[in-house]
Structure 1
Amino acid sequence: MKHIILTLLMIFAPMPLVAGAVAVEPAYYCAKISSGDQITSKGQKLQDAGAILQQDRANYHRFNLRDFGDQLDPIFADPAVRAQIPRLLAASQTPGSVLREIEKGTPDICVDVSGKAMTVTLAAPAAERPVAGADSYPFEGRWSCEVAEFTFTSSTYNNGSENLPIREIQEGSDGSYTLMFDDDYMITLSGFTGSAMGWFSHSSQDNFLCQKL
């Protein structure tokens, strides 16, 4: 009887999660793969595209070694998530020609992380990439945002006490805009009605309703 019970427990016991099945938050960024991304922090040569992409993000977030064309991403500052890059790349349909270019060359790339895969495509050099958005953005102007008056242009953000240069603007599929600044600081502006918008800080998690002035 005891053997029967043990057998049943083994059959119906929950299966452990497979590490390769873990999904990560979606993200999109572009980067320049340089010779500095193709070696470890100890100077060892990297041969695998996944390891090179992981080193590129480590250089960006951990070592502050950033090439012209490197963009901020919202997820790989976490070393545990960064460690999943080789697995995410292996699960994608990235062409072998792109992988070889990462391993042997110094290409400009764009990376799309979605669910359980990370797809890489070759991109135009940073100086030739089109800037997202049109001549003006819906967030430009002066806004009363509950705690202070914020002012936005296409290239700067004034938080009521200082001007911050906008390093990058990413437009979301929902019409939101994520503004990226130095030191990995970023805010997302969304819900535009013409006279109001939402303001969200990724670092503090503060969320304000802003009224156009």
Structure 2
Amino acid sequence: MTLARLIAASLLLVASSLPARAQEDYPFTGEWECDGAPFVFTATAYSIGDDTYDVQEVQEGSDGSYTLFLSDEVYIYLSAITADTLDFSSSESSHTLSCRRY
């Protein structure tokens, strides 16, 4: 294998192991008011009030929704996302909250 091919293969391997969109903003990124409570979403964390949770994985649905996995068993689901609104639901609750961007 030539040196150029070895370098190209190495770069491809490194790029494929990086988390998708790790450094990009998602449409849900930012500060939101959800039924009166302050929520903040980033690609790596979710917070409500003073409580912050690490986001382990982000999956985009075919309908433009996003699932943020906080652990193997706990996730939040963000749907109907526009520039100013989104719907929030959680695996921990059967409630859906309507959110507006600050």
* Structure 2 segments unaligned to the other structure (5+ residues): 1-12
In structure 2, what is the Cα distance between the partners aligned to 1:183 and 1:162?
19
Q: Answer yes or no: is 1:182 the counterpart of 2:71.
A: yes
Which 4+ stretches in 1 moved above 4 angstroms? none
Q: How many residues align?
A: 89
Select the structure that is richer in helix.
1
What residue number does 1:155 align with?
44
| Structure 1 position 134, deviation (Å) | 7.1
In 2, the alpha carbon distance for the partners of 1:133 and 1:210 equals: 24
- Structure 2 CA distance, aligned partners of 1:140 and 1:179? 12
Normalising by structure 1, report the TM-score.
0.38
| Separation in structure 2 between the aligned mates of residue 152 and residue 179 of structure 1, nearest angstrom | 10
Indicate how the Cα distance of structure 1 residues 133 and 205 shifts in structure 2: closer, same or farther if over 3 A, else same: farther
Deviations 1:157-189 (A, max 9, x none): 111131101000000000000000136210110
Show the counterpart of 1:197: 86
- State how far apart, in whole Å, the 1-side matches of 2:83 and 2:45 are: 20
Task: Please tell me whether Structure 1 or Structure 2 has the larger radius of gyration of its CA atoms.
Answer: 1
% same residue: 36
Conserved 8 A contact 1:132-1:170: no
Q: TM-score, normalised by structure 2?
A: 0.76
Consecutive unaligned residues in structure 1, runs of 5 or more: 1-123
Higher relative contact order (CA 8 A, sep 6+): 2
CA contact (8 A) 1:176 1:189 kept: yes
Counterpart code for 2:87: G
Answering whether residue 59 of structure 2 is matched by residue 170 of structure 1, we say yes
